[in-house]
Structure 1
Amino acid sequence: MRKFFGFLTLAAVIFTFIFGANYVNADYKGIPDAVIYQTLKEKGIISSIENFKPDTPCSKAEFYKMALESAGIQINKSATATPFQDVPKTAWFAPYIRKAIDLGIIENPAVGQNFNPDSQISKAEALKVLILVNKIDIPSKIAKENIQFNDINKNSWLAKFAAAAVNYGLFKNEKLFAPNKLLLKYEAAYLIYEFINKGILNIQQQQQTQTIQPIGITIEIVPVPGATVSIPTTEVGKKFLNSEKFKILMDVLQKINTKFINKDKIDLDELVYGAIKGMVEKLGDEYSVFQEPAKATSFSKSLTGEFDGIGISIEMINGKIVVVTPLKNTPAEAAGIKPGDIIDKVDDKPVSNKTLDDVVNMIQGPTGTTVKITIIRGGANIDFSIQRAHIKVSSVFYEAKPGRIAYIEIINFTNNTPKEFEDAMNQAIKDNARGFIIDLRNNPGGFLNAAIAILNHFIPKGLISMNMEMPDGSRIPYISQGPAELSQYPIYILINKGTASASEIIAGAIKEQIGGKLVGKPSFGKGTVQELINYNDGSALKLSIAKWLTPKGNWITPTNPLKPDYDVDEGPSGTDAQLQKAIDLLNSNL
């Protein structure tokens, strides 16, 4: 059931910190949504909780109004004239836009210019507005160490606002900001709430028993010390709490707790986690998975580029556990595991009818221990005995090839990848490179925002880097922020069957937007986005929330992968025919 990319320990998938870091739609950093919305209502920032519609897009006009009111700025409702042709004097938002102009938040708009009040606001613009309306000190100079976010370039216009926010006490310990993310209303509310509380989002746990009555159902909750108790306030939550199925669930739990023959062995947490897992499994989506705290911690650790395991990325395809790729310089690569190998047994135990999560648990283990992997390759079974190790993976490697050709290999996309890539790129430019080869072979993916941040170095500002297609069919474009230093260079991208997920986003965007050429074999074909939702107890839900599409709207799937412009086999052992082909092509075009 759980289809995801893994380092073993665990997977690196494209899941979205595009929506901001670690949020939960019924609980934000320990604060229930109801508390946040009530706070905004009491301050006059929103007029009605019932009509707020948190899951709908937040327009620029709406956000400017909310931001100005959150800072307590007085608005002259009669001052409505603006230079914008799409902000008529009679519009409800005209006084707010006028005030933003007067305060210098909107700088020197030209007469006849468009404001686009109905367009969805980006997180980058929202942050700038909040910094300015709250008159937060903005540093005049920015050094790399002042920017804690890996997806914000220190030379971008956003850098000084991001540094100001961090200095103000916001976004503590967050490494990705997701500047291109277009905000929904609840995300706008979270961001404003951050400013109201100066980044200190804590709630004191009530120690007494709470009795909560959602529409006729009484639920008695005895808080666990250190936990946060919240009851769903969405329509789905209310419907569930009022359903017969919920009553059955609670009754079954009660019966087990009071009548089960071995009730002294009951672990309530395990029962609840089992119920949640069953719910997620019923989605029938192999990319969606609920992780208990230990697994969630291991998964998150793997995405830092440092973990214990053998170093392979695996996938479930048609009920079979398939190796997407062994990671570079890992025990799996050294042992001879290859992309496309099918895992048949682990320590002589068949993996048929096992979930991907089960196989992960069978393979992973402490550093220094050994695991036996039986794979199927070309119809034959091959046994590998592999010693597990502590693996620290640098995600970017640079080499200056003869003829001033820059070769940059990206292994996967972690928190550190944007900075590592920028360092490699700067060195290549310093070396006076004439062209670039970007090697994405056997790259299983990782953080989407890391890929988007890297694309800013290729795709000119204002062009689409990728599209996200939501379940309702609407599309959210991710617009490059530039500076696109590499857009003027000839670019060749190496791909193969192990090129998946975020690496396919990179390859597809460079091909479609700046004419980069793909060399190698067809890619893996993973075109969905997973969001990682972290809960207070350390557990996490990884949920498929959207498709990703190339800038031209192509959905990449196993049956519609990226296809190379130059189809080249690997070549004999000890050679790299694909890389040599890219070098030859570059030399012929320089």
Structure 2
Amino acid sequence: MSKSFSRLSARVFSVSIIFFLVLPSTAGAAAISTLLNARDTQTVTRADFIRAAVKAADIPLPQESAVPYNNVPEAFLPYVRAAHARGALKIFEKEGRGMRFTQGIRRGEAVDILSHLLQVVQSGSSDPAAKKFTDAVTAADRQLVSLALERNWLKPLSDTVFGLKRPLRGKEGTLLLTRAFQIQTESAPTETLSAPIIRVKLQSINTESAPKGDMLQNIWNVLRRSYLYRDRLSVDKAGDKAIQGLVDSLGDPYTTYMPKEKNEDFKLQMKGEVEGIGATVEMTGGVLRIVSPLRSSPAEKAGLKPKDEILSVNGETLRGLTLDEAVRKVRGPKGSAALLKVRRDGNEFEVSVTREKVVIPEVEITEDRNVSVVRIVQFWDTTDKKFSQAMAEVQTKNPRGINLDLRNNPGGLLHAAGVVVGTFLPKSSPFVSIMESDVTRTEITDDEPTVSFSVPMIVLVNKGSASASEIVAGALQDSKRAKIVGETTYGKGTVQQVMQFTDGSSLKYTVAEWRTPLGHKIDKIGVVPDVVVSNEGAPVGRDLQMEKAMELLR
């Protein structure tokens, strides 16, 4: 069948996706397996590169076994064991047991590690072109340069200097891994995604037979040979349904298989280009439920709220549909109307929503009586790259307080959440604990804060605050940096990763759970505010939660 995994390659990118407009919500904390935990210009540590490379190669992690090194960070130990077993750390032999894993890795060292993990044979001879580089002094140096050039892993720094001993930076480390694990030799990915992408050969993954794989193959052969209506057989449709059945058997609403057409929609959602009602949704118990309406969206204007259940669209029931099928019913071209039958707290009613193209500003900063009101709509590129700078400008105005509004924010990138937390807490402050199946690690902030600790702070949340929003709220609450005001948050504490296949389809699957720095569980529980305030029943035009926040900052 054409969906046979052995015939496909995949790109794995570790990023929590916000589903713009109407799509299933990961509401994700951003995926925990961010392959390189370094910004574009930051130096990648040895430990981080080893972990990223072992993960990208999908090398099984060995059971307890000794390694000839002292002071290996506990979170990295399984990956160091795996790399050591492959002979991938030989380049550090001279350092002995005192190898420094937190030291920055050099470009040449990274190439050498990959050559062993991928079992690339380095021939005794090198490309004559390698001799022109003045830093390729030894034969081993020239072999590394030849390998990097032949496989398009790294570019020389200049016509005469390759840069073997230069520190590997985050951006080029990402490109190195991308190129090393792609299925064919081709240029780096052109997708403008905000997280590393790794291409892996699925053939290289340690596999076992698919459940009832032989029976599935035999049934397919029988149908192709003897089924009366053979013209109804569709290779792609049959393959998609078989994979969908496997994924659905998990009973995990956040683990989904996306065929090509659905996956194209998914990519457009990432860019904010899809027209619809402007809400993130999920399928729970066979019912399409709103996670949160996006700010100023048609859904919000129509009065839709988090946890509203959409039962039908324009008279067509959504009962029995898959999440993808239900989403397609709700979405539609700009200007068209969607008459939704909605259930809220057991009561059913109808509401008409005019679909629009929703443009979402990530961060909005306004001033109210010398209090800076900072609304973050989602944790994406702008927040990741510009939030700290924007808050530094706020600090120059000596605000009386800061009101961080995370209401109806469905989540986004883990790193962006870290940037926000790091704006208010000391450098290297823990902001989330990530629990994978094989390891638990704590993420810490990267930079010095840009807002003074003397500036009092409130964080506003509600039922639509999910995932990355909950990470920020939980971290600031645990550290007692801010008081949380509003309603208990959504309670989305699992992390999804997305694998893109070369046939255009993809798989989104749960890979971890996250908790607050003090270990508080969030999944299905949420962040409980310090001051509980609801806007339910508020007089028209009044925001009781905002009013309470401003009162506390006086």
**Residue 267 (structure 2) aligns with:** 300
Is the 8 Å Cα contact of residues 15 and 446 (structure 1) preserved in structure 2?
yes
Match of 1:322, SS?
A: strand
Q: Compared with structure 1, are the counterparts of its residues 132 and 459 closer, same or farther at alpha carbon in structure 2 (3 Å cutoff)?
A: farther
Q: Given that residues 299 and 353 in structure 2 are in contact (C-alpha distance below 8 angstroms), is that contact kept between their aligned partners in structure 1?
A: yes
Equivalent residue number for residue 465 of structure 2? 499
1:364 matched to 2:339 = no
Q: Say which SS state the counterpart of residue 552 (structure 1) adopts.
A: coil
The answer as to whether partners of 2:431 and 2:442 remain within 8 angstroms in 1 is yes
Number of corresponding residues: 443
Match of 1:7 among 8, 16, 20: 20
Q: Who is 2:444 aligned against?
A: 479
Corresponding residue for residue 236 of structure 2: 269
Aligned to 1:436: 402
Q: 1:368 and 1:300, CA in 2 relative to 1: closer, same or farther beyond 3 A?
A: same
From 215, 231, 237, the counterpart of 2:203? 231
Choose 448-457 or 7-16, whichever is displaced more: 7-16
Residue type at the aligned position of 1:345: S
- The 2-side partners of 1:280 and 1:377 are apart by 29
- CA deviations over 1:266-302 (Å, ceiling 9, x no partner): 2211111111110010001111111112222222332
Matches within 5 A, 1:213-228: none
Measure, in 1, the Cα distance between the counterparts of 2:202 and 2:282: 35
Q: How far apart, CA to CA, are the structure 1 residues paired with 2:77 and 2:296? A: 47
Query: Relative to structure 2, which stretch is displaced further, 12-21 or 443-452?
Result: 12-21
Q: TM-score, normalised by structure 2?
A: 0.70
In 2, the alpha carbon distance for the partners of 1:450 and 1:302 equals 18
Q: CA deviation at 1:61?
A: 9.8
CA 1:430 to 1:537, structure 2 compared with 1: closer, same or farther past 3 Å?
farther
What TM-score do you get using the length of structure 1 for normalisation?
Answer: 0.66
- The answer to whether the 8 A contact 2:31-2:496 is kept is no
Contact 2:290/2:306 (CA < 8 Å) preserved in 1? Answer: yes
Work out whether residues 396 and 417 of structure 1, in 8 Å CA contact, stay in contact via their aligned partners in 2. Answer: yes
Match of 2:479 among 513, 533, 539: 513
For 2:255, the equivalent position in structure 1 comes to: 288
SS in 2 for 1:493: strand
Helix, strand or coil for the counterpart of 2:496?
strand
Closer, same or farther: CA 312–65 of 1 in aligned 2, 3 Å: closer
- Give 1:540's aligned residue: 506
SS in 2 for 1:416: helix
C-alpha distance in 2, partners of 1:341/1:556?
21
Q: Distance in 2 between matches of 1:5 and 1:131?
A: 34
Aligned pair in 2 of structure 1 residues 452, 535: CA closer, same or farther (>3 Å)? farther
Indicate how the Cα distance of structure 1 residues 432 and 509 shifts in structure 2: closer, same or farther if over 3 A, else same.
Answer: same
Q: Which residue of 2 aligns with 1:255?
A: 222
Q: Distance in 1 between matches of 2:286 and 2:185?
A: 46
Alpha-carbon distance in 2 for matches of 1:487, 1:427: 12
Give the drift of 1:377. Answer: 3.3
Identity of aligned residues (%): 29
1:586: Cα distance to partner? 1.0
1:19 corresponds to = 33
SS in 2 for 1:129: coil
- Identify the residue that residue 203 of structure 1 maps to in structure 2: 184
Partner in structure 1 of residue 124 of structure 2 = none
Alpha-carbon offset, residue 63 of structure 1: 9.2
Task: Note if contact 1:444-1:502 (Cα within 8 Å) is conserved in structure 2.
Answer: yes
| 1:374 is aligned to 2:341 | yes
| CA RMSD across the alignment | 3.9
1:379 CA drift (Å): 4.4
Amino acid at match of 1:417: T
Q: Distance in 2 between matches of 1:464 and 1:299?
A: 32
Task: Report if the CA contact (8 A) 1:320-1:343 is conserved.
Answer: yes
Alpha-carbon distance, 1:257 to partner: 2.2
Please name the residue that 2:106 is paired with.
130
CA distance 1:202–1:514, shift in 2 (3 Å): same
Aligned pairs for 1:344-423 within 5 A: 344-377=311-344, 379-402=346-369, 404-423=370-389
Q: 1:519, 1:564 within 8 Å by CA — same for their partners in 2?
A: yes
Hey, what does 2:97 align to over in structure 1?
Answer: 93
The answer for the alignment partner of 1:573 in structure 2 is 540
> Is the contact between residue 262 and residue 324 of structure 2 (CA under 8 Å) also seen in structure 1?
no
Change (3 A) 1:511 1:433: same
Deviation at 1:398, TM superposition (A): 0.6
Query: Which deviates more, 576-585 or 426-435?
Result: 426-435
- 1:453 and 1:259, CA in 2 relative to 1: closer, same or farther beyond 3 A? farther
Following superposition, the deviation at residue 259 of structure 1 comes to 2.2
- Structure 1 residues 63, 480: closer, same or farther in 2, change over 3 A? farther
- Residues 1:337 and 2:318 aligned together: no
For 2:92 and 2:379, the matched residues in 1 are separated by: 45
**Following the alignment from structure 2 to structure 1, what is the Cα–Cα distance between the partners of residues 315 and 475?**
43
Deviates more, 1:569-578 or 1:504-513: 569-578
- Deviations along 1:130-188, one digit per CA (max 9) or x if unpaired, are 34857999xxxxxxxxxxxxxxxxxxxxxx967x564x5x545xxxxxxxxxxxxxxxx
Secondary structure at the aligned position of 2:437 is classed as coil
- Looking at structure 2, the residues matched to 537 and 61 of structure 1 have their Cα atoms a distance apart, in angstroms, of 31
Q: CA deviation at 1:537?
A: 1.8
Cα distance in 1 for partners of 2:494, 2:533 equals: 27
C-alpha separation between the residues in 2 aligned to 1:132 and 1:435?
49
Structure 2 residue corresponding to 1:326, chosen from 270, 293, 308 = 293
Question: Which residue of 1 is the match for residue 529 of structure 2?
Answer: 564
Tell me which residue corresponds to 1:85: none
